[in-house]
């Protein structure tokens, strides 16, 4: 498990110039992260590769704004490879990523509670 925070708002702050804007962006990210994780897990369980790919695409889009670079890059790489490999390979890679995504989601929720 990571010992350092996975949430990084540096890039998000480039888009949100006021505290209210940042809070709104973070709240949207929290909802999207939780939703896409659920869609991916359901898609994997049902063998729905296209749903998994679309949800990974959504994650890839917003992770660079809110996550540390190594985690954002891992999600981006997983999306790219998900289009070229069997779903079972994507499932294994996503499953390995879930603990970090859960930690990130917890960090986002803690931040929202503090704002």
- Between CA 14 and CA 21, with CA 16 as vertex, the angle to 5 degrees is 165
Domain 12-114 has CATH 1.20.120: yes
- Residue 93 — very low, low, confident or very high, per pLDDT cuts 50/70/90? very high
The model's pTM is: 0.91
Contacts of 11 (CB under 8 A, 6+ apart): 64, 65, 66
Strand segments, DSSP code E, in the chain are none
pLDDT, tens only, 13-37: 998 888 899 999 999 999 999 999 9
């Amino acid at each position: 498990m990571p010992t350092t925070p996975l949430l990084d708002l540096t890039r998000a702050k480039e888009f949100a110039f006021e505290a209210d804007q940042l809070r709104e962006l973070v709240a949207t990210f929290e909802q999207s992260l939780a939703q896409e994780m659920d869609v991916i897990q359901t898609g994997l369980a049902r063998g729905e590769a296209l749903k998994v790919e679309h949800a990974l695409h959504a994650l890839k889009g917003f992770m660079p704004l809110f996550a540390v670079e190594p985690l954002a890059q891992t999600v981006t790489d997983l999306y790219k490879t998900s289009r070229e490999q069997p779903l079972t390979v994507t499932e294994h890679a996503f499953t390995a990523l879930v603990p970090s995504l859960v930690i990130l989601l917890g960090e986002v929720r803690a931040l929202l509670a503090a704002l």
